[in-house]
Amino acid sequence: LIMMGMGGVGIKGEPDPMYLATLHCSACHKDNQRFAYIEPKVCNNCHEKGFDKILVEQMRFVTSRMRLLRSLLTKAKRRHKDAAIPVIDEAEVNYLLIREDGSNGAHNIKYIKYLLDYSIANLRQTVN
């Protein structure tokens, strides 16, 4: 779903360029183990030299933002434990989608960043 730019809440997604190019998962995930971690250096086979370093930086950014989102979700749920707050539900959907994707941005960094920004901004208003 992430590669297609779908599944999240609050943001109109765009497909990742690799999805639009009809790349199959096996283009990167070449081993027999389904959903195995891929070393970022593999990306240099098709992308320019040094792309792996950019990818690692993006993955660190997403990991950091996911920690912040998880923290804000915890605070918001505590503060509003007896109320149905749509912003909290939306943020949780986005958090779970990104976590379950497991790529930390590699599958569609633009969409993931938009989902994180949207959810974090809305939760900040809820917990302040």
Angle between helices 51-79 and 86-101 (to 10 degrees): 150
- pLDDT number for residue 84: 80
Tens digits of per-residue pLDDT, 10-57?
999 999 998 899 887 777 777 666 666 777 887 878 888 888 898 889
pLDDT, mean of residues 80-106: 92
Runs of H (alpha helix) within 1-85: 17-20, 51-79
Tens digits of per-residue pLDDT, 67-77?
999 999 999 99
- pLDDT number for residue 40: 80
Whole-prediction pTM: 0.88
